[in-house]
Amino acid sequence: MPQGKEKKTHGILALAGLEPYQEKQGEEYMNDAQRAHFRRILEEWRRQLRQEVDRTVHHMKDEAANFPDPVDRAAQEEEFSIELRTRDRERKLIKKIEKTLQKIEDDDFGFCDSCGIEIGIRRLEARPTADLCVDCKTLAEMKEKQMTGA
């Protein structure tokens, strides 16, 4: 690679230690190699989230103390509350990852649930659990804004 032209990998791909998928000329969309690529991304993401859950459990067990000072006790309770909310979001994300892994197994991954077109490799690398194409997602967000008045 020419000097100063290093490839940078961001987000989930970087977390999984993977490079962006390089499509080959005339390659069929969501072939075995592409599905395997996304399976690796999702499995690594799920593994890392599960590690975070385990770390939180150990942290809360190790740090749990009955502070005599009400301010210290309140600070610890708030810290634990924030951690638990974060873990709850991650638990929901793990379920979504598992649902997406099942879609890969069922050969139903990579296509918009609304209109059926290809979601696209780059979009899926940025958000592997995406189940709508950009246009349908944009439309859904606009409808949601209209319904909530935001």
- Side chain identity, residue 118: E
133 is in an annotated binding site: yes
- Please tell me the distance from the alpha carbon of residue 51 to that of residue 111, in angstroms, as a whole number: 30
Contact by Cβ (8 Å): 12, 20: no
- Please tell me the distance from the alpha carbon of residue 35 to that of residue 129, in angstroms, as a whole number: 13
78 is in an annotated binding site: no
What lies within 8 Å, CB to CB, of 44 at 6+ separation is 15, 16, 17, 18
150 is in an annotated binding site: no
- Please tell me the distance from the alpha carbon of residue 36 to that of residue 30, in angstroms, as a whole number: 9
List the end-to-end C-alpha distance of the chain, in Å, as a whole number: 47
125 is in an annotated binding site: no
Task: Compute CA distances 99 → 61, 102, 113, 141, 150, whole Å.
Answer: 31, 5, 13, 22, 30
- Binding residues, as ranges, are 112, 115, 133, 136
Residues annotated in a binding site for Zn(2+)? 112, 115, 133, 136
